[in-house]
Amino acid sequence: MVKKEIINFKEHTDGRGSLIALEYPKQIPIEIKRIYYIYNVKKDTPRGFHSHKDLNQILIAISGCVKVKISDSYDEEIITLDSNDKGLLIGPMIWREMFDFSEDAVLLVLADHEYDESDYIRDYDEFIQLGREYWKK
């Protein structure tokens, strides 16, 4: 059961520049079914404010910097994503809020399921109740 994990990606650099290759299952521990990215976020505009019942995601700051507050319904943690050679793996039943986006931030999200609105928990009080039941297992 994955709550969260920082994944470090291997960067290949030479005189031509740098490259990071992401392959399943070598560097990416989840099979990717959906990819999207968030950019041009206005100053002081937070994103997220939800959890997923089954979805696993990897968040990567391809450019710039973003902070991610996560909660398992008991504990909270703030993680700064500011390097394109690391990703934040977030498992099911973890609340996430992304905030403090730098002006040049591009946040890439890799997900192991296609979009499914029924997988979302958007009410924080409901998340707390369901999360505490989930993590008791």
Could you tell me if 69 and 97 are in contact, meaning their C-beta atoms sit under 8 angstroms apart? yes
d(CA 3, CA 94): 7
Closest CA to 45 of 119, 87, 102, 96: 102
50 a catalytic residue:
yes
Burial class (CB in 10 A: 0-12, 13-18, 19+), 41: buried
Catalytic annotation, pick one of 12, 50, 52, 113:
50
Task: Report, as residue numbers or ranges, the catalytic residues.
Answer: 50
